[in-house]
């Protein structure tokens, strides 16, 4: 099949979160299955020179947008059987960051239209156009309703929701100005929801199939609690809503061949894990002790990620237990302040690292004992998959992809790969963490938990096969 994917980010070129990891891995797996894959993203100025130096300029195109003729360029890069196309328009995408710009609505509306221009003018003739999250969701409106794209209308449309919280909500005026479509699309409720133009809702409406990044998240977003005010509309599309669990790139995350860690290891020979633990302690300025449980969290610091839960749990834990804690992440000021104060209050026990460092992240996955994920919701989550791949035991909340991938350890069967809470009083995150620490002191059980995690199948091959089956069912 010929498949075109469009997204706002794609690893390793431009990454703000898990969406980039999906776009970095899924197309490669689909290519291995024999499909012809093209990925289109904006050419951001933050893309590393080592990639840009290998981009090949293919076309210069023109597009009438917001009353002006705009010229953009298309660059090509091929890797692992995937054809990557980068749309360059500096006025919108020569920026220091991917998201959070005051003109995001305009920037991505322009990108939406350029994607279809590229597909049509390059005669890509896709069987499937697969878009991701709100930034590209409105491509499906243009595909189905704009007469300029008549030659590619036969393509089937798939939308993946990576996080329902972000929907791209803007005014009717913004919709009319940026998409130059008849007002009836808004007035008749095709692109409107709850009094706004809603980019994600638009994509859901026009998609032939909608996927989420885990089966549990698919079910959750149909409810009031997780549905972000779109659940009643999603219920109307329920028969076309499918949950497919994300995987991770096993070449990027491989403890037996990871150049970012100090000592490689695998499930048959795990001595290297202790070497990496000592390297973390040395780098973090913590006492180099092999016997103390080393807890870590690598995360965006936001309400979704359950930092409020750690505000309740961590001070008591550090006061009463002999543990170490290392954080790597950044985000909301209130949470950064909490962790900085924690660093001051517990010298020699805590290391707080605000920001992001890819190599240090790999070392933390490889050398830590316990990985904390108290998320209030988690569409899929990649960190728990990566941590288990490296023999680091997750303690997580039972939601979304965490529920689908973290299995509570059973000491009688020696089955399971982690510990779960559901935030109720009887099953709080604190109790899940205490269960984990209890088993940490029992070496036979602890070795079983680590090995169960490392033996799990977290590859994209399974998920890619499910996507391919979905595509085939449409065409």
Question: Residue 461: what pLDDT?
Answer: 92
Check whether residue 287 and residue 424 sit in a common domain.
Answer: yes
Question: Which has the closest alpha carbon to 65: 1, 121, 146?
Answer: 146
List pLDDT tens digits, range 198-250.
999 999 999 999 999 999 999 999 999 999 999 999 999 999 999 999 999 89
The answer to whether position 21 is within a domain reads: yes
Domain count along the chain: 2
Percent of all residues in the chain with a pLDDT value above 70, rounded to a whole number: 100
The answer to whether position 259 is within a domain reads: no
Check whether residue 438 and residue 469 sit in a common domain.
Answer: no
Q: Would strands 128-132 and 393-397 be described as parallel, antiparallel, or unpaired?
A: unpaired
Question: Residue 423: what pLDDT?
Answer: 82
Question: Residue 95: what pLDDT?
Answer: 87
The answer to whether position 440 is within a domain reads: yes
Question: Residue 138: what pLDDT?
Answer: 98
Check whether residue 155 and residue 16 sit in a common domain.
Answer: yes
| CATH code at position 218 | 3.40.50.2000
Distance CA 351, CA 360 (A): 13
The answer to whether position 265 is within a domain reads: no
What is the rounded average pLDDT of the residues 14-35?
94
pLDDT at 425 over 80: no
414 is in an annotated binding site: no
What is the rounded average pLDDT of the residues 310-315?
96
The answer to whether position 283 is within a domain reads: yes
Give the domain extent around 387: 271-454
Distance CA 377, CA 402 (A): 9
Check whether residue 109 and residue 169 sit in a common domain.
Answer: yes
**Taking the alpha carbons of 162, 307, 282, 392 in that order, is the dihedral positive or negative?**
negative
The answer to whether position 56 is within a domain reads: yes
The answer to whether position 262 is within a domain reads: no
Check whether residue 135 and residue 196 sit in a common domain.
Answer: yes
Predicted confidence band of residue 17 (pLDDT cuts 50, 70, 90): confident
The answer to whether position 261 is within a domain reads: no
List pLDDT tens digits, range 238-280.
999 999 999 998 988 999 999 999 999 999 999 999 999 999 9
Residues 6+ apart with CB under 8 A from 285: 351
Residues 262, 363: contact at Cβ < 8 Å?
yes
């Amino acid at each position: 099949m010929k498949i075109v994917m469009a997204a706002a980010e794609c690893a390793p070129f431009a990454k703000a979160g898990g969406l980039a990891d999906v776009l970095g891995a899924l197309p490669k797996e689909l290519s291995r299955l024999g499909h012809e894959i093209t990925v289109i993203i904006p050419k951001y100025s933050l893309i590393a020179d080592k990639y840009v130096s290998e981009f090949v300029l293919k076309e210069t195109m023109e597009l009438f947008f917001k009353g002006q003729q705009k010229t953009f360029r298309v660059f090509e890069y091929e890797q692992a059987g995937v054809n990557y196309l980068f749309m360059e328009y500096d006025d919108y995408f020569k920026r220091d960051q991917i998201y959070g710009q005051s003109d995001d609505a305009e920037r991505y509306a322009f990108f939406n239209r350029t994607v279809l221009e590229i597909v049509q003018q390059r005669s890509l003739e896709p069987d499937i156009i697969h878009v991701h999250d709100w930034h590209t969701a409105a491509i499906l409106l243009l595909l189905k309703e704009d007469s300029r794209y008549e030659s590619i209308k036969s393509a089937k449309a798939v939308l993946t929701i990576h996080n329902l919280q972000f929907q791209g909500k803007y005014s009717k005026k913004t919709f009319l100005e940026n998409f130059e479509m008849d007002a009836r699309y808004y007035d008749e409720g095709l692109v409107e929801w709850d009094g706004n133009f809603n980019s994600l809702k638009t994509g859901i409406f026009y998609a032939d199939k909608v996927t989420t990044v885990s089966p549990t998240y698919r079910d959750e977003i149909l409810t009031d609690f997780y549905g972000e005010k779109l659940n009643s509309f999603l219920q109307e599309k329920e028969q076309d809503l499918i949950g497919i669990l994300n995987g991770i790139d096993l070449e990027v995350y491989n403890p037996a061949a990871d150049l970012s860690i100090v000592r490689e290891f695998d499930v048959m020979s795990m001595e290297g894990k202790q070497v990496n633990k000592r390297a973390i302690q040395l780098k973090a300025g913590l006492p180099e002790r092999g016997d103390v449980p080393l807890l870590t969290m690598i995360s965006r610091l936001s309400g979704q990620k359950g930092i409020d839960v750690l505000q309740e749990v961590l001070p008591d834990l550090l006061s009463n237990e002999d543990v170490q804690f290392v954080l790597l992440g950044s985000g909301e000021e209130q949470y950064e302040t909490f962790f900085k104060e924690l660093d001051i209050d517990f010298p020699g026990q805590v290391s707080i690292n605000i920001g992001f460092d890819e190599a240090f992240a790999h070392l933390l996955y490889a050398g830590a004992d316990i990985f904390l994920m108290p998320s209030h919701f988690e569409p899929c989550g990649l960190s728990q998959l990566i941590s288990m791949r490296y023999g680091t035991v997750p303690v997580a909340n039972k939601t979304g992809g965490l529920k689908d991938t973290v299995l509570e350890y059973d000491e009688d069967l020696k089955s399971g790969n982690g510990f779960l809470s559901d935030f109720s009083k009887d099953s709080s995150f604190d109790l899940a963490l205490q269960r984990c620490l209890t088993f940490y002191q029992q070496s036979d059980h602890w070795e079983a938990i680590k090995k169960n995690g490392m033996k799990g199948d977290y590859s994209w091959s399974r998920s890619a096969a499910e996507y391919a089956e979905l595509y085939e069912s449409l065409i």
